[in-house]
Structure 1
């Protein structure tokens, strides 16, 4: 009887130790990581507001140019690098490059013109993760930064001369920049492994283009003069953006 009791106690201790070891392994395997984290994302971008106000447009009129006049949206590529200080808190920096889908418009890109545009955003960013230990981890992030918009447009124009209208070529190369006062991101990540997660995100921004630089080059047939002039002054263009997409994160 004593021998059977000893065997039973030994078996119970062994099973308990095995169970504890399994729990320790599981806890180690699924604990939320800290340390360096890299994120890449892809999405679609839309906006409302102004590129600039009260300046010369491509049809030579004076007025405002809205985002809706110049673009049908954009495709942003996101890169984010930072540090998971704790499983809940991420501190780092973001950068995004957006290919802008230009829109045919007499104000910004007349019919038959070649037009291209891109946007660069960058700045610091922090996130709070609500359930870092769970299989799906929702988060919210806040940041601010700078935005740089680059445009290149070229096409044929009619230039009035004493002998009548003459066909020439106009090339516009501009860079418009300004602060992004705030951006807010909400999203979530499904954990695909200890170091990889993937999920959707939605970002909203409020910003303003406050500085515009560049040149306009007009090329006319000889012997008429050709020339390059700086872009005229423009008032600030406040605007907002919405970006919706997916992102993947790696814990390095």
Structure 2
């Protein structure tokens, strides 16, 4: 997993550095920063049971509390390209007893379109890809369907093939914008009988736009 994350992180860095070259030739690169917080719901199957029990994502965690950092640049006044890192605390399911810790992580690339409705209001919509990791102290067994303590086998990871996100930004003062956002992802963890799952997240975002 570590090698995959390092490789993907290197790709993100190269793309983010190279995307605004045309703009940077005429003016200095100006980075924008965003910080998001919210709540996420698990949807779909974390891993297939290969003719046994399918393990649903909401059988591992009932929800997540994510915090996300966005770093990127605006290409003109409408288009944004950037990278993101998200870390989330997982909320234990009611059936879990004992050690029930869980966490989720996402890293990715995002492209969004921002429509300046007015000087104070800017709705936006975007797409992205990334890498998705879930760590849990207990994961249901594909043989019994019952929660079992895990070691390294409690880590699930794989590529996020796409996400759709959108929101509304309200200008607070100068370059500072604030408003609600929603994100829906589609990903598949590695492994035998891999299946698709999603996170549906919503919350608030603070953006310093330059």
Matched ranges for 1:161-172 at <5 A: 171-172=150-151
Q: More strand by proportion, 1 or 2?
A: 1
Q: 1:148 aligns with which of 133, 156, 166?
A: 133
Task: For 2:53 and 2:31, locate their aligned partners in 1 and report how far apart those are by CA, in whole Å.
Answer: 48
Task: For 2:47 and 2:149, locate their aligned partners in 1 and report how far apart those are by CA, in whole Å.
Answer: 20
Instruction: Report SS of the residue matched to 2:151.
Output: strand
Check whether the contact 1:88–1:132 (CA below 8 A) recurs between aligned residues.
Answer: no
Which stretches of structure 1, 4 residues or longer, exceed 6 Å deviation after superposition?
none
Correspondence 1:66 to 2:56: yes
Task: For 1:251 and 1:171, locate their aligned partners in 2 and report how far apart those are by CA, in whole Å.
Answer: 43
Q: Tell me, which stretches of 5 or more residues in structure 2 are unaligned?
A: 1-28, 140-147
Q: Give the C-alpha shift of residue 152 in structure 1.
A: 2.0
Q: 1:126 aligns with which of 111, 119, 139?
A: 111
How has the CA–CA distance of structure 1 residues 52 and 193 changed in structure 2, closer, same or farther, with 3 Å as cutoff? same
Correspondence 1:49 to 2:39: no
Q: TM-score, normalised by structure 2?
A: 0.76
Task: For 2:149 and 2:180, locate their aligned partners in 1 and report how far apart those are by CA, in whole Å.
Answer: 42
Equivalent residue, structure 2, for 1:208: 188
> For each residue in 1:196-251, what CA deviation from the matched residue of structure 2 results, as whole angstroms up to 9, or x when unmatched?
0100001111111114xxxxxxxxxxxxxxxxxxxxxx421311121010000113
Q: Tell me, which stretches of 5 or more residues in structure 1 are unaligned?
A: 1-33, 57-61, 155-168, 212-233
Task: For 2:180 and 2:149, locate their aligned partners in 1 and report how far apart those are by CA, in whole Å.
Answer: 42
> For each residue in 1:156-175, what CA deviation from the matched residue of structure 2 results, as whole angstroms up to 9, or x when unmatched?
xxxxxxxxxxxxx9653321
Q: TM-score, normalised by structure 1?
A: 0.64
> For each residue in 1:139-198, what CA deviation from the matched residue of structure 2 results, as whole angstroms up to 9, or x when unmatched?
0011001101112249xxxxxxxxxxxxxx965332111111111111011101111010
Instruction: Report SS of the residue matched to 1:113.
Output: coil
Aligned length: 173
